Amino acid sequence: RNSPEDIQSIIRAWQHFSYHLHRRGKNEFAQVRMELHYLEPIDLEDSDGSYEPENYRPMDENLLSQEPSKVYVPEADVDKPLGMTLYNDSDIPIYPYLFYFDPNELTITPWLLAPHGAGVGDVDAPLPPHSKLPVGYANGAAYPWQFCFEDDRVEDIGFFKLFLSASPANFSCIAQIESPFKRLEVSTRGGRGSENDAQAEEVEQLEKLDKGSWGVKAATIIQLRQ
């Protein structure tokens, strides 16, 4: 039933997903680490359900202490938000770009994107030397993360991948927010060619980055129904 164009769209999305999931830079950024925590409301008596990051703080142990990591997912009507903390113990400023890779939907969802400006290093780094950056809580620049099961599955898997650069870079172009499978449902609308071409050009520019100037941290997340 699917046209050759639909099949090609899925193949391109899979290639894009797989390539960016497995790609590595040469810089290991050994003094950068990330921690994942469940979050709790700062005001435990506040039940207005506000999802603003400043209303939360991390709790319990670092969920990334093992690889792969396990995260327990509650029922859809129960909040169990997550937050990430990025630590830079090095002497250089760093630009972080954090994504979640969902192999079921072939989506690459940005959670944190550092500004990239014109790529000439004149944008302040979100992760200065000897600092930490909250993601999804406190004064972080992103909302809390939450996993959910939309069907009857009891286990799932995905990947957080943190791209790190010593200078501003357009890693935002690797995002693949819309699943190619969902695009099939609206394929009759068309009009995506120029958008895909623009993204391909940006990714091609990203390939020109010096591999010694960037690196990655990755975490495998096994999600278990609670």
Q: SS3 for 14? A: helix
The pLDDT assigned to 43 comes to 82
The pLDDT assigned to 119 comes to 47
Cis? peptide before 53, omega within 30° of 0: no
| pTM passes above 0.85 | yes
Structure tokens, 149: 């099961």
pLDDT < 50: residue spans in the chain: 119, 121, 188-189
Work out the number of other CB atoms within 10 angstroms of the CB of residue 108. 20
Look at the chain and report how many structural domains it folds into. 1
DSSP assignment letter at 189 = G
**97 φ/ψ sector (left φ>0, alpha ψ -120 to 50, else beta):** beta
Determine the Cα–Cα distance for residues 218 and 136; give it in Å rounded to an integer.
Answer: 18
Determine the Cα–Cα distance for residues 208 and 104; give it in Å rounded to an integer.
Answer: 30
Cβ atoms of 63 and 38 closer than 8 Å: yes
The pLDDT assigned to 89 comes to 98
- Partners of 164 in the beta sheet? 96, 215
What is the distance of C-alpha 204 from the center of its chain? 20
The pLDDT assigned to 47 comes to 55
Residues of the domain holding 102:
4-225
